[in-house]
Structure 1
Amino acid sequence: MTIPSVSVVIPAYNNAATLAETIDSVLEQEGIDFELIVADHSSTDGSDAVLDAYRHDPRVRVLTTPSGGGAERNWNRVTDEARGPLIKLVCGDDVLRPGILARQAELLDTTGAVLTACRRDVTDAEGKVLMPDWGLRGIATRMPGSRAAAKAVRAGSNLFGEPASVMMRRDALVRIGGWDATFPYLIDQATYSRVLLEGDFVPDTDTGATFRLSDSQWSAVLIAAQADQARRFHRWFHSEHPSVVSAWDLRIGNVRASVMARLRRLSYTVLRWRNR
Structure 2
Amino acid sequence: MTPRVSIVVPAYNNADFIGETIESILAQTYRDFELVIADHASTDATLDVVSTFSDPRIRVEHTDAGGGAKRNWDRVSRLATGDYLKLVCGDDLISPTLIEEQLAAFERHPSAVLVASQRALVDAAGKTIIGTRGLGTLSGLVAGRDAARAAVLAGSNIFGEPGCVLMRRDVLERIGWWDNDHPFLIDQATFTEVALQGDVVALRKSLASFRVNAGQWSVRLAREQAAQAAGFHHKLRRDYPDLLSRNDVRIGNARALLTSFLRRAVYVLLRRRITHRPSTQA
Matches within 5 A, 1:1-276: 2-54=1-53, 56-112=54-110, 113-216=112-215, 218-273=217-272, 276=276
- SS for the counterpart of 2:205 is strand
1:116-142: CA deviation from partner (whole Å, max 9, x where unpaired): 111111012222211111111111232
Percent identity of paired positions between Structure 1 and Structure 2 = 47
Conserved 8 A contact 1:217-1:223: no
Find the aligned partners of 1:160 and 1:110 in 2 and give their Cα distance: 20
Per-residue deviation, 1:82: 0.7
Partners of 2:175 and 2:251 lie apart in 1 by 27
Q: What is the rounded CA distance, in whole Å, between the counterparts of 1:274 and 1:49 in structure 2? A: 31
Cα distance between partner residues in 1 of 2:241 and 2:271: 40
* C-alpha contact (below 8 Å) 2:109/2:141 kept by paired residues: no
Taking the aligned partners of 1:104 and 1:84, their CA distance within structure 2 comes to 15
User: Which residue identity does 1:110 align to in structure 2?
Assistant: R
Deviation at 1:274, TM superposition (A): 5.0
**Alpha carbons 2:215, 2:267 under 8 Å: kept:** no
TM-score, normalised by the number of residues in structure 1: 0.95
Rounded to whole Å, the distance in 2 between the matches of 1:253 and 1:9 is 31
- For 1:65 and 1:274, locate their aligned partners in 2 and report how far apart those are by CA, in whole Å: 36
Cα RMSD, aligned residues only = 1.4
Pairs aligned (count): 274
C-alpha contact (below 8 Å) 2:214/2:267 kept by paired residues: no
Worse-superposed segment, 181-190 or 26-35: 26-35
Judge conservation of contact 1:119–1:204 (CA < 8 Å) in 2. Answer: yes
Alpha-carbon offset, residue 90 of structure 1:
0.1
TM-score (norm 2): 0.93
Deviation at 1:259, TM superposition (A): 1.6
**Gap regions ≥5 residues in structure 2:** 277-282
1:2-27 C-alpha deviation (Å, 9 max, x unpaired):
11111000000000000110011101
User: In 2, Cα distance between the equivalents of 1:16 and 1:274?
Assistant: 23
Cα distance in 1 between the residues matched to 2:168 and 2:133? 23
2:84–2:169 Cα contact (<8 Å) kept? yes
Q: How much does 1:153 deviate?
A: 0.6
SS in 2 for 1:262: helix
Distance across 2 between alignment mates of 1:158 and 1:42: 28
**Post-superposition shift, 1:217?**
5.9
The structural deviation recorded for 1:267 is 3.5
User: Bigger shift: 257-266 or 168-177?
Assistant: 257-266
**Tell me, which stretches of 5 or more residues in structure 1 are unaligned?**
none
